[in-house]
């Protein structure tokens, strides 16, 4: 088993596996380090209906398995393990896996994804995929003409509330503060939408339901003399409090933005390190969709191939 490669791919979601497909077909003989949780966020997505090519929908884990199988078909070298250190000081770059094996790579594609932020409630995991979601665009369709809640007060939360209001019967927007942090335009749209009810100064202390989500336990005016505990009935509970990019290992090694996402140059997937590229949610703080991540994986592999042609 060789520990040298023209292209090393770190990550195994739609971006990583798509990059592997393209890199393999370009005879780059990529090595893919799949990480501790192959498949990323899609592994907790029960039904995916907006990924092209699946007219009847597909579960997240099955979609990942299809992408993985396609990468294997073109002989991508898929390896389990966790990248524990990287050295970008000179090419070929050195990447250590599980504090043991070092791989030397002429190019690297970082596709480690991002992790949706949750409130930390035990109930969130209990109802994950059964009423709890961190992506309204992905799962909102399943709540047509039903009652849902969105947690958050920024632009993302308002966007998701407005999107859900076009589908659902009623949308609660649960806001911890006494105001919205969203832009004025977004605030106006939310305030003027008759389907959206904003619950200011409110936090969630728990969720309830028999087999699937049925509602939320809320607290208004926490820590004040006016503190009030109450429940609301819900079919869906959406988190819109941001994502944390999986970039901790790259801190100080590569340029990150103020939120920790990898910066890429212009229309390419190139980072500030020559021959190192980023694809998927780890570099995308805007769309965070599986199909977008797959497209970025394709672009990163093409960018890596061009880099090798120009620098060999």
From 77, 106, 123, 139, active-site residue: 139
**139 catalytic per annotation:** yes
Q: Which of 119, 23, 153, 120 is nearest to 77 (CA)?
A: 23
Residues in CB range of 145: below 8 A, 6 or more apart: 167, 168, 169
List 7, 106, 123, 138, catalytic entry? 138
* Structure-token match 């920024």, residue found: 154
- Pick the catalytic residue from 135, 281, 298, 303: 135
Residue 135 designated active-site: yes
Active site residue 138: yes
Which residue reads 């043991």 in tokens?
Answer: 100
Any idea which residues carry the catalytic annotation? 135, 138-139
């Amino acid at each position: 088993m060789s520990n040298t490669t023209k292209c090393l791919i770190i990550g195994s979601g739609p971006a990583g596996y798509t990059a592997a497909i393209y890199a393999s077909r370009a005879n780059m003989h990529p090595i893919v380090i799949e990480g501790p949780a192959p498949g990323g966020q899609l592994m907790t997505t029960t039904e995916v209906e907006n990924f092209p090519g699946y007219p009847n929908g597909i579960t997240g884990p099955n979609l990942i398995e299809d992408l993985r199988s396609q990468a294997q078909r073109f002989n991508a070298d898929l390896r389990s393990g966790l990248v524990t250190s990287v050295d970008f000081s000179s090419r070929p770059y050195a990447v250590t896996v599980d504090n043991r094996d070092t791989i030397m790579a002429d190019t690297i594609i970082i596709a480690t994804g991002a992790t949706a932020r949750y409130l930390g409630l035990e109930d969130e995991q209990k109802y994950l995929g059964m009423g709890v979601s961190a992506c309204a665009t992905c799962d909102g369709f399943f709540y047509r003409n039903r009652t849902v809640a969105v947690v958050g007060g920024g632009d993302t939360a308002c966007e998701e509330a407005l999107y859900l209001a076009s589908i659902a019967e009623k949308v609660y927007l649960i806001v911890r503060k006494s105001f919205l942090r969203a832009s004025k335009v977004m605030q106006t749209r939310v305030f003027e939408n008759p389907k959206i009810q904003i619950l200011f100064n409110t936090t969630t202390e728990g969720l309830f339901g028999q087999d699937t989500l049925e509602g939320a336990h809320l607290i208004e005016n926490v820590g004040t003399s006016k503190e009030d505990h109450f429940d609301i009935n819900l079919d869906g509970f959406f988190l819109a409090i941001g994502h944390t990019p999986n970039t901790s290992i790259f801190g100080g090694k590569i340029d990150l933005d103020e939120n920790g996402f990898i910066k890429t140059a212009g229309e390419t997937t190139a980072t500030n390190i020559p021959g190192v590229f980023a694809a998927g949610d780890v570099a995308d703080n805007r769309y965070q969709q599986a199909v977008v991540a797959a497209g970025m994986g394709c672009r990163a592999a093409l960018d890596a191939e061009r880099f090798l042609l120009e620098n060999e």
